[in-house]
A and B are shown apart, each in its own frame.
Chain A
Amino acid sequence: GGIITQTPKFLIGQEGQKLTLKCQQNFNHDTMYWYRQDSGKGLRLIYYSITENDLQKGDLSEGYDASREKKSSFSLTVTSAQKNEMAVFLCASSIADREEQYFGPGTRLTVL
């Protein structure tokens, strides 16, 4: 088995601030994902990466950057936090890009 760790669990920032969320997995999976989940809604894909140093834009990439410098870690940066993007950010990984995904517990973002 393995685990996905997301840090921090809770992130509070000011409007306009640059904020970074981190994700680590020890499954040795190739593919990693970042999703945004607004309250009571489904998941929207922000970025994904099929291997180290690869980045692919999802449906909601505007306003975000991502970085995959190691196979085990995938970071997401909110370039300028806005109040309308308060949500839970979920990281996931999979052995290949169509296969089942394993999820972390999420980072809850609050923008003041």
Chain B
Amino acid sequence: AQSVTQPDARVTVSEGASLQLRCKYSYSGTPYLFWYVQYPRQGLQLLLKYYSGDPVVQGVNGFEAEFIKSNSSFHLRKASVHWSDSAVYFCAVSAHSNNRIFFGDGTQLVVKP
């Protein structure tokens, strides 16, 4: 079965700095990949998704992610973070084999003013 690892439970960056949140997945085929964001006391919202094609996908609010098949990774990036980006970010993967989405444990992003 597939799985997702987000190795950083918490990341702290200064406002205006660049950001990378790491995600590695386990699946032998070509997965569907997602990044979601969860603000306090809310449900999850989709930031971006990769199904096929260009491995660099653009999302909302200046986020992007790159699918690197050889590394089984789908890291999330942003060139310049804002204090409002403080939230929990979840990476997720789905596959043909069992028709489900599996979520990582999330990375808490703290943006310092």
Binding site for B on A (CB under 8 A): 4, 40-43, 45, 48, 50, 58, 90, 92, 97-106
Contacts and interface: CB of A to CB of B under 8 A. Distances in A.
A45 B103 CA distance: 9
A42 B44 contact: no
Nearest to A105: B43
Contacts of A92: 43-44
Interface in B30-50: 32, 34, 36, 41-46, 49
B86 interface: no
Contacts of B108: 40
A54 to B, nearest CB: 12
Nearest to B1: A59
Chain A contact residues: helix, strand, loop or mixed: loop
A103 B44 contact: yes
B103 A4 contact: no
Interface band, chain B? 20 to 34
B105 interface: yes
Given A98-B32, A98-B94, A98-B96, A42 B103 contact: yes
B73 to A, nearest CB: 18
Given A43-B90, A98-B94, A4 B32 contact: no
A42 B32 contact: no
B42 A105 contact: yes
A97 B99 contact: yes
A100 to B, nearest CB: 5
A103 B96 contact: no
Nearest to B42: A105
A43 B96 CA distance: 20
B100 A48 contact: yes
B49 A42 contact: no
Given A41-B105, A42-B90, A97 B46 contact: no
